[in-house]
Every structure is written in structure tokens, then in C-alpha cells.
Structure 1
Amino acid sequence: MTTETTDARVPSPADWRGFSVAADGVTRRYLLPRGLLRGAAAERVIEAGAALPLAGGAIAFCFAEAADRKPGAAGIRTPLWLGELAGPDRGLLDGLTAARPRWAGFDLAKPLIMGVVNVTPDSFSDGGDFASAADAIAQGIRLAEQGADIIDIGGESTRPGAAAVSAEEEIRRTVPVVRALAERGLCVSIDTRHAAVMEAAVGAGARIINDITALTGDPASAETAVRSGAAIVLMHMQGEPRTMQADPHYVDTTLDLLDYFTDRLAALGKLGVDPARIALDPGIGFGKKDPHNLLLLQELAAFQVFGCPVLLGVSRKSFIGRLSRKEPPKDRLAGSLAAGLAGFDQGVQILRVHDVAETYQARAIWLAVGR
């Protein structure tokens, strides 16, 4: 029942809005897909007209929860069956149901695995493990052999409290690694918030720019990314790495993030960016407390409304240890897999991980069970 993404409708910038506006011109309505099903059951309810496909794929949603709110207020949630959704909601349903176009050269019929390589001395999980170019290159090759579709190279730690790194130092760390892996035919992503690093990495063969600031951290980053022709990941972060966990707060977490991505996509639309280049990352753990993280994991399907693939990064993050036995980062594999599979159940198309072999196996079983 999976829709071929090569023939997908590509949304225009006019579609890039995560809400509709009520007749009063003030109240915003958001739609959160609910009653998610997979496999043969999903196919049957879609054929019966009792459900709709999420992102054109093998997951169905049987109803939606409308969240209506006025500016500055939390949303009032109301379950609505599909037959009750019409008028202004039609555009939101189109975004939620349309098949995703190819992204960074990939068909998104099954979730992609993005493997992490940090060429840093101080990243929260693997800082120092791959600080030399030779070690980082070897790790990138290893992750590709284990099943990673994308290798994400980072040269600056963005863990809570991390100090900034100059663009020059970041380029020194990452570009040799990017070039070596790209020359081997691997799909490489550059994890950076600096325009100069983006430009240097794309010049060395990176096909994806992954920015934790959603192209706001450097005045030149948006135009640089658009001009590069690379695929782009926009992540949400409240604050900046040194202070983001001091006191994050939201009026309504999911709806606040939908507003944020609406604004960022509109800004890129004005620059003429092709919407098929964009993926969205809700930024688990970036300016978010555990209740924020957990709510987002429960409502990830809502971010499909923009017609863009959704990327999820939960690998080894601190919320896993806090919710379990205070395990250190490298002992959080089981929790990482559990959170990642929960993301797959919500339609996430890209999972960013440190442990590729284990994630590949977990994905294989998840896919088999959903047939």
C-alpha cells in the first residue's frame, strides 16, 4: 500500500503552514493525527474510507485531534472523525496525507538511518572517540557498512553547556572527513550552524546541511544553504547550547513548534527554496525538559502537516537516563531503540543514531511486523 514517493505532490510555499485560521481571524486550528495503525489493518481501513494514509505511507490515522487556540494560549483539543473535517482543514489534511517526494536522493518508502560521527573532543556521547580525521573516516565507513544511509559529520559539540567553536576550527576538523567519505560514494551530512562550514563541506561533497538553529544561528547561513543546492534539515532549539536547558518553557509544546516551523519554512520560501529539499527535526533535548520531550514523541505525526520528511534524534540522550537508572550515554542503547521505534510508529522518515547496526536490526523487525 506504500505510495511511490517519486510521483508525490511537492507542496508549494503557500502550503507551509501548520495551522488554519478560524472565521474570527484570530483562532488557529492544528490537526494532530490519532488512532494510528500499520500493516494490513491500515490498508483495510483506508480502503474502507475509515482512515487516511499518513505521509502517503503504510501508516494510517483513523481520526484527528483538533487543537484550537488563541494567541498566547494553550490549545483546546477536540477529537474529530474524518467526516467532520472539511473546509479550512482540507489543506492541513493534504499536508498530512501527501506522499513525501525524494529527499537528498532517497526514496522515503522506508525510514532512513543517519549515523553520527562527531569529530570533536567533547561531544556528550562519543567526544574524543573519533577526534582524528583517520578515526572519523574509519568510523564513517564502518557505519555505512553497518547499514547507515547517511553519515552525519559534526565538528562542534552542541551538548548543554558546550562552548562555541570557531568556523575555522570546525572546517579543519570536518572537511577532510567529509571529502574522504564523499569520495567513497557515501551520502554525507554536515552538522553545523556556521555558513562558512556549510559552504566548505558542500564543496567537499556533503549532500545535506543539518543545522540545529534552523538556519538562524549565522546571518549568512540561510542564503548559503539555499545557494548550495544541498538538502536541508531544520531543527528546533529553544535558546542556545550553553543555556538551553536552564529554564525551557512552552505555552503548548507541539503547537509552539508547529508555529516555529511555519515561520522558518515561510522565510525559506521567500528565498525561493525548493520545498523538496527540507526535512524537519523537533529537536528532542534541545531546550526541552522531559515532559516536553515525551509529549513531542507522542505527537510527532503532527509535524507531517508541512509535507516535509521528519527527522528524529533521540540516540543516547540524557532523558533516557533520567527516565531509567541514570545510565551514562553509552549504556542507553535499549532506551534509544525504544524511542526510535516510537518515532517510526509516528511516521518519522529519518532516525539519527550512534548505534547503526543495532538500529538497522530493530528497523528490519519493525518493517517486517508492519507488512
Structure 2
Amino acid sequence: MGGRRPRTGHDWKLLAEACTALLERVPELVDEHLRRLAEHSPVYGQVLPYDLHWRESEEAMRIGIETISAPRDSPRRDLAYAEEAGRRRAQQGLPLELLAHAYRSAGYLVWDSLLEGAAERERERLGALVRSATIVWSAVDAQVQAASDAYRATEMELRRRTDEQLQALLDALLEGRQTPGLAARAAAGLDLPEHGSYAVVVLRAERRDGREETFHRPVRGAGFRFVWRMRTDCEVGVVGLDAGVGLDRLAELLDARCAGPGGISPVVTGLSELGRARRLAELALRTCPPDATRVVRFDQRMPTALVVSQPELAARLVADVFGALLELEPADRAVLLETLDVWLTCEGSAGRAAGRLYCHRNTVFNRLRRLEQLTSRSLARPRDLIEMTLALDAYRLSPPPPLPVPSSRGSAPSTPLGA
């Protein structure tokens, strides 16, 4: 490693003598080395206590000088020490570029000192050092590479551990745990205010085999700060809202950037309320039919949310309101329910509904009258209209009924959808 030449001959002998002589000056070189580092960046002194830094630099420089003149097959103590130093500096939080600079700065200092010592003695020694420059700088480059690789590996491991800790804190908040101090610890770890305006977003995601649950660190957008938690069947986002930013802007942003349906909770006033917000966001998502593509707000879907939150009552409502309708042929039933849905969307305008359905407005009226006959309800009566609207939501959002189980006595009667 480092492109070493064979360690034999007169040049190597002179190099070894120069290195041996330089070892006596290591304390002096370390003082100069730390002075130069302090001039280069004050971060060294902020991260590393001087006495500890001095001892570690002294050991690294001594090992490095001994390595330059060591026999070719000797163990690379300098690389082992560089790896250890890289791991240590990552744990201490020293930036990687400052770690690499420290190694190269020490390399320049050692090389200049070797040249100065040779020039004071004889030209032959100076020439031997110049011819050995590749050996010296290959060793320095190998040390920088070893320290950097170890630093990056340690940094990734530290980040993984930190992410796991933050993930656990976020999960505890979203589950609504009331552990003392939980919100404060999460606020410090996620760099979010403990008290402030938050919403929770739940986006539907297709289940994929082998998909891992992941945690994404906080990212800031225009007026928002997102922390995402990716799970196997959904994506959960905690959204910090800046002052003056409301849910309308959040819904617009998510609609523009997120594929598939989603639910947005009402605004809550602190991290400790995220559990309740998550449950309401999930309930908002449940109000979206399977083919939906919009992100909806809970506070704009509360009647439907009431329906989907009570599946047993929703099934009874469907059976009570649409009982006779469900006995029709599927195609006939679908036409009538689609007409009701479009008429409601058009705020009771038969003309607008006819335009969307590509039929005459009288056809819309005829279909609605047939619905009233089948349901024994009038769309002109507010209470009946509410029941039919909620029953339609329940019908569209209820899971399909199980298939009837054949018996030896013949086919079982079909079960109305949602019953």
C-alpha cells in the first residue's frame, strides 16, 4: 500500500539515518504542528483538548517517521493508527476535511524537517532524500486514505444509531405515549420546538415485499418543516407549520408533490399531541376511496369520517338505506349510485350533473326518482338527504363483503354489500 520501493541500498540507509535523527525532534515538531493547525482553523481547539491532541499527534508523528524508514515487509502501524484516529475524530465531531488537513500538514512538516537536516550535513544525504520523496508522500497519502475511510464508516454508523434513536422517539410520539419528558427529548433530538403548530400527514403507499421502514431527518420547505417516517403500507409525516401558514397551503403542496391519496390532521399545538393528530390523519385517509388521488383534510371530511370510524353502524346504514337498491343488477345499481354521487357533487343541479354524465337532465331526474322509490326516502327532505349521502359514502368506502360459502344444500343467498 502506498507504492513502496524496496527498502535496500545506500539511499534507504541514508533515509533511515535521517528519520532516526528526526525522532529526537518530535516534541518540537508537534508543538509547531499544533500551532499551524490552530492558525488554520479554531475548530481544532474547540473539538480537541490541547493536551490530548498533543499526545495523540506525538504518537502519530513518531509512528509515521518510523514507518518511512521501516523494512518493506514490516507491519503498517501507521495505517492502523490512522484508522483508529479516523474513528476517534468522527466520534469527537471533527470535520473530515480538518482531519485530512492535519495529516497532510504533519507530512509537510516532517518532509521539510528531513530536508533541513540533510542540507546541514551533506549533499549526498539531500540527494538521497529527494530520490526517496515518493516513499514519504506515498506513506502520507495512505495514512490520509486510511483515516478518511475509517472516519466515513464511523460517521455512517453514528448516524445510523442516531437515526434509530430519533426514529424510536418519533414513533413514541405518533403512538401517543405519555412518557414523562418524551416530547422534550424528541424536540432536542429532532431540532423541533416542543410547543408550536403541527399537523400529521398520512399518505397511502403500496405494500411492497421487502420494503424497509425508514426515517428521514427533518427537511425545511417554504413555511413547513417535514419529518417523514416511511412504513410498509403508508408514509407518515410530521409537519411543523410556520406562523401564518395554514392547512390549505399544505394540502396544495402535498397534492402537487405526492402521488396517491392522503389525509391531513387538524393543527395541534405541540409534539405531545402528535398521537391524536396521527389518528385523525389516518381517519381522513380512510375517507378516500381506493381510486382517489387527492390529499384531504380531516376537518373537511368529518361527516364521512364519522361513517368510516364506525364500520358496524356504517354497514347497518347501507343495508337500511340501500337495501332494495343492492338487489338490482350490478350495472343498473352502479348507474343509479353514480348519478346520485354526481348530483351531490354538482350541489343538486340536475343540469350540471347531466353534463357530466353525458345524458339529458330529465334522465337525471328519472334516475333520482327511482332512487327515492327504492330507498323510500326523498331527496327534498334534509334528514333523508343526509342519510342517503352518508349511506353513499359508507357504501363506497366499505370493504367488499366476503363471498358466500357454498353448502351441500345449494348456493347460499348473496349478502348485500356492506351488510
TM tier relative to shorter chain: under 0.3
TM-score by length of 1: 0.19
Higher strand fraction (1 or 2):
1
TM-score by length of 2: 0.17
Structure exhibiting the larger radius of gyration computed from Cα positions: 2
Which gives a bigger RCO, structure 1 or 2 (Cα 8 Å, sep 6+)?
1
Higher helix fraction (1 or 2):
2
